[in-house]
Amino acid sequence: MRKIWRDVLIFSASAVSIPLVVLLLIRLTPKPPVAKMEHALAVLSEAGKNKADTYSRKLYNEAKIFYDSAMINWQKENKRFIYFRHYDRVIMFAELSAKKASEATDNSISTSSNLKIKLKEKIDTLNTLAAQIDELFNTYPLTSEIRNRISKGEILLKEAEIVYNKGLYFQANRKLTDCEYLLNESYEFASGNLKNYFKSYSVWKKWVDRTLNESKKNKDYSIIIDKFSRKCFVYLSGSKKYEFEAELGKNWVGDKRTKGDLATPEGMYKITGKFDGGKTKYYKALLLDYPNDEDRQKFRSEIEHGSLPASAKIGGLIEIHGNGGKGIDWTEGCIALTDKEMDLVFRIARVGTPVTIIGSMVDLKDAVEK
């Protein structure tokens, strides 16, 4: 800088014209790095648009720090006399800022793209799981706690899809993590309960085989209630003749144990009474011989072993009756059909017609694949 002033003085002293002196002073004035700073700011802004503050936070923060350093140094130089200003450090920090911001943009695009793909896969997987839970357990009597967890998981899944579509992938990931835990845990619990229920399948199969053999032998009607598929099958001479939707007790999984447990019993029964008109509170009804001898024996055994209190009652009045068609399990343990279907079953049934109630006519694998 001293050399600059020496040149200026020499030049002035040599009686050169004033305009030339002015031109020389302008030429020697340090130029502020406006273009460098504008470029750094533009690259930093582009990084922000690509959400580098979220997906490449470290690089983005470094770029911001370098840009702030450039600004601070620029302000410091601007306070000095114009010919004493040096912008080397300003330029250095501006270039570093632009470099880091560019890296942050590239990294953010790559990270968010990979995350987007992974989250889409997780969303698809959890939607499949939610659909499977709904298909298998929509009408399955689960505890209110498990139902609430499934419901909460499904809500989180919908919320995750919404924020995912907005590009808020970290938020989506947090919701999907919570959703995954709730749905997987609920599915494992429900599946375990279902597997345990189907342990009785070998017994159910024996009952079905006996019922169909008797129907074929006697060339008569028999009725089979499949609780898992919610079906009422009517057979004649061992061949299926009719198939109806059935509605059951609210807690139909497992055998009926006590009065008021809202469970539909399982076993081989017979019709003991036919009621219509004012003889039943339903449209029509077929009374079953529940509890039979086997039911009473199991009930007494549970009392003796303490799995039921001594005050427990075995219950009764299990029927196949009308007023069905509600689409839900609502009875206190009976089997409900629509009135039109009840007309047909009531007409062909007689006192003594076998009614076998089972969990399922097929094993668990076939039941869940239907």
pLDDT at 158: 97
Give the C-alpha separation, 13 to 18, whole Å: 11
pLDDT at 273: 96
Same domain, yes or no: 94 and 145: no
Give backbone dihedrals phi and psi of 266, rounded to 5 degrees, phi first.
-125, 135
How many domains does the chain fold into? 3
Q: To 5 degrees, how large is the angle CA 319–CA 322–CA 325? A: 120
Same domain, yes or no: 269 and 259: yes
Of 292, 284, 278, nearest in space to 355 by CA: 292
Of 171, 179, 184, nearest in space to 152 by CA: 179
**Cβ-proximal residues to 115 (8 Å cutoff; 6+ apart), any chain:** 55, 169, 170, 173
Same domain, yes or no: 345 and 224: yes
Give the C-alpha separation, 153 to 140, whole Å: 18
Q: To 5 degrees, how large is the angle CA 94–CA 97–CA 99? A: 110
State both tokens at 318: 């299990």
* End position of a domain, from candidates 88, 110, 132: 110
Give the C-alpha separation, 282 to 275, whole Å: 9
Residue 337: helix, strand or coil by DSSP? coil
Same domain, yes or no: 300 and 190: no
Q: Specify the CATH number for the domain of residue 183.
A: 1.20.1270
pLDDT at 5: 46
* End position of a domain, from candidates 54, 83, 110: 110
Contact criterion met (CB below 8 Å) for 247 and 256: no
Same domain, yes or no: 296 and 336: yes
Give the C-alpha separation, 232 to 322, whole Å: 13
Give the C-alpha separation, 352 to 359, whole Å: 22
At residue 311, what is the residue type?
Answer: S
Same domain, yes or no: 142 and 105: no
Q: End-to-end distance of the chain based on CA atoms, in angstroms?
A: 90
Give the C-alpha separation, 151 to 127, whole Å: 13
Give the C-alpha separation, 215 to 295, whole Å: 23
Give the C-alpha separation, 330 to 29, whole Å: 92
Mind giving me the DSSP string for 48-63?
A: HHTTHHHHSHHHHHHH
* End position of a domain, from candidates 72, 94, 110: 110
Give me the domain span that covers residue 232.
200-369
Give the C-alpha separation, 360 to 207, whole Å: 11
Same domain, yes or no: 73 and 55: yes
C-alpha Rg value of the chain to the nearest Å: 41
Q: Specify the CATH number for the domain of residue 274.
A: 2.40.440.10
pLDDT at 125: 96
Contact criterion met (CB below 8 Å) for 319 and 311: no
Same domain, yes or no: 105 and 124: no
Contact criterion met (CB below 8 Å) for 85 and 78: yes
Same domain, yes or no: 26 and 155: no
In order along its 370 residues, the chain shows pLDDT tens digits of 445 445 544 544 444 455 654 554 455 567 888 888 899 998 899 888 888 888 888 999 999 999 999 999 989 988 888 777 888 999 999 999 999 998 888 888 888 788 899 999 999 999 999 999 998 898 899 989 999 999 999 999 999 999 999 988 889 999 999 999 999 999 999 999 999 999 999 999 999 999 999 999 999 999 999 999 999 999 999 999 999 999 999 999 988 999 988 999 999 999 999 999 888 999 999 999 999 999 999 999 999 989 999 899 988 999 999 999 999 999 999 999 999 999 999 999 999 999 999 999 999 998 887 6
Of 132, 229, 119, 130, nearest in space to 177 by CA: 119
